[in-house]
Amino acid sequence: MQTFHLVIDGAQVAGQAGDFAVLNPATGAAFARCPAGSLEQLDDAVSAARAAFASWRLSSASTRRSCLQLAADDLQREAEEIARLIVQEQGKPMALAMSEVMGAVAWMRYNAELKIPVELIEETPQQRIELHRKPLGVVASITPWNWPLMIAVWHIIPALRAGNCVVSKPSSLTPLSTLRLVQILDRHLPPGVINIVTGEKGFGSAITTHPGIDKIVFTGSTPTGQSVMRGAASNLKRLTLELGGNDAAIVLPGTPLESVVDDIFDAAFLNMGQTCAALKRLYVHESQYAAFTAALAARAAREVLGDGLQPGVTFGPVQNMEQLELVHELVEDARQRGASVLCGGARLAREGYFYPPTIVADVTDGHRLVDEEQFGPVLPVIAYHDIEEVLARANRSSMGLGGSVWGTDLEQAQSLASRLESGVAWVNCHAQIQPNTPFGGSKMSGFGMEFGVEGLLEFTGQQLLFVRKTESA
C-alpha cells in the first residue's frame, strides 16, 4: 500500500494517532492507509499557518501567482496518477476522474491570475477614499467525499491567492487525493502557508471552535453546516457554507424530448448523482410525462456499471455504505407509496456499493424521495398540470442551491427561471459551473459565494482608507 503523510509547517509527518483504512467503493475493501492526525497536530498546523501569515500576507500578487501556476504545472504533470487515486477512493470512472483533475488545474490557473480590486469611492481636491481588501488570516477548509480534489481546489486556491494561510481537513472517506494536492502546493509555497491534517473523528468541532482560525469554508450537509456555524460563533469566524441541495428542474410543455433527454439524464446522474447541484427532482408536464419517463429509463440502460479503472465503465459505485443505504431506503419508501420503479431500484449482487441508475415515476411532493436530497443514482419524475402550480412546488423546498427550466421558448423559460428560489438558475442546462461564474446557495443551502472575483473576495476583509489631503507648501 502507498504511504501518505500529513503536511505541517513544510514537513511531511506521520499521524500521531496512527492511521486508518481507506476503502475502495468498487470492492468495499481497503486499498490504502491514511495517517490519523491528533488534535495536537491540528494545533501545530494552525500555529504554523499563523506564523507563516505574517510574511505571506505581505507577498506580492506576482509571487502568489507564480507559486500557484507552478503547482498547477505539477498537478497537470501528475494528472493520471492522481486520477487513478480518485477512482480508487471515490469510485467515479477514470474519464470523469481525469476531468476532475484537469478541471482542478484550470481552476487553479484561473484563480492564480485573478486581481483583487481597489475600489475608488471618492476623489476630490480635499480627500481620497478607497476600499481595500486584505487577507483574513488562517482559513480552514473542510471538504466532502464526492469531488475530493476539485472542491479542495475551490477552497484552497482562492484563499492562498488572497494572501491567507490554510489548514485543510478532507473527508476521512476520500483523503488521499487532497493529501497529494497539498504536497504539491507545499513544494512551491513557504513553510506553513499550506497544511493538512487528516483523521476520522473529532476534528470538525475542534476546527469550528479553534481560536486561531479566522475563516472556515465548508462544503457538506446542511445539519453539519449548522454545527459549523454554531462553533464558529466563538470568535466570529467568517464562513462560506455550500450545503445540501434538492434542485428542481421544470420541463415546459412541448419541449422536444429528443433534444433534452440526454442532457437531463447527465445533469441528474453526474458522478452517480453525488453532486450537490445535480438535478434532484424533475417536473414534466402531464402531456409528455409517459414519453419522458420511458426515454429516461432507456437512457439509463446504456450505462456500463463497474470498477472505474476498467475499460468501458461509465458508471461507478455509490461512494460509501451509509449513502447506499439511504438511497435504498428512499426508493423503498417510494415503492411502498405506489411509485413505479422503471429501471434499477436494487443494489447489485456483487462486491462494492453498486446501485444502478434508477428512474422512479408516479411520485409526488410529500414523498421522501422528492422532498429529501437523495444524493445518489436515483431520479424521481413528477407530473404537473399548470405552470404556476409547478413553480410553487419547485420553490416549496427548504433548500435553494440551483434549479433549471427547459423549453424552446427562451423568453418563457428565462422568465420562469428567474422566479426560482435558488442561488443559480439555469435554462436548458443544469449543474453548469465555470471558474468565472459566481456560485452559491440560498435558504438552507448555505451562504457566501464561490468562484470568480466574488468568490475570491470571500477570503478577504474590507478596509476603508480615508485620506484627508494637506495643502502643498
The helix, strand and coil proportions of the chain, stated in percent and rounded to the nearest 5, come to: 40, 25, 40
For the record, the C-alpha cell of 188 comes out as 512551491
Confidence category of residue 201, pLDDT binned at 50, 70, 90: confident
- Spatial contact of 5 and 198, defined as CB atoms under 8 Å apart: no
Residue 473 pLDDT exceeds 50? no
Catalytic residue, chosen from 34, 67, 165, 276, is 276
Task: Kindly state the percentage of the chain with pLDDT values over 70.
Answer: 99
Alpha helices in 162-276 (DSSP H): 176-188, 203-209, 222-232, 257-269
Residue 67 among the catalytic residues: no
Residue 17 pLDDT exceeds 90? yes
Q: pLDDT, tens digit, for every residue of 85-94?
A: 999 999 999 9
Distance of CA 27 to the CA centre of its chain: 25
Catalytic residue, chosen from 242, 373, 450, 458, is 242
For the record, the C-alpha cell of 83 comes out as 486520477
Residue 471 pLDDT exceeds 90? no
| Among 128, 86, 120, residue whose Cα is nearest residue 103 | 86
Q: pTM of the predicted model, to two decimals?
A: 0.97
Residue 454 among the catalytic residues: no
Identify the pLDDT of residue 1. 66
Ordered domains of the chain (ranges, CATH): 6-243+445-464 (3.40.605.10), 247-427 (3.40.309.10)
Q: pLDDT, tens digit, for every residue of 271-305?
A: 999 999 999 999 999 999 999 999 999 999 999 99
Identify the pLDDT of residue 123. 96
Burial of 467 (0-12, 13-18, 19+ CB in 10 A): exposed
Identify the pLDDT of residue 472. 53
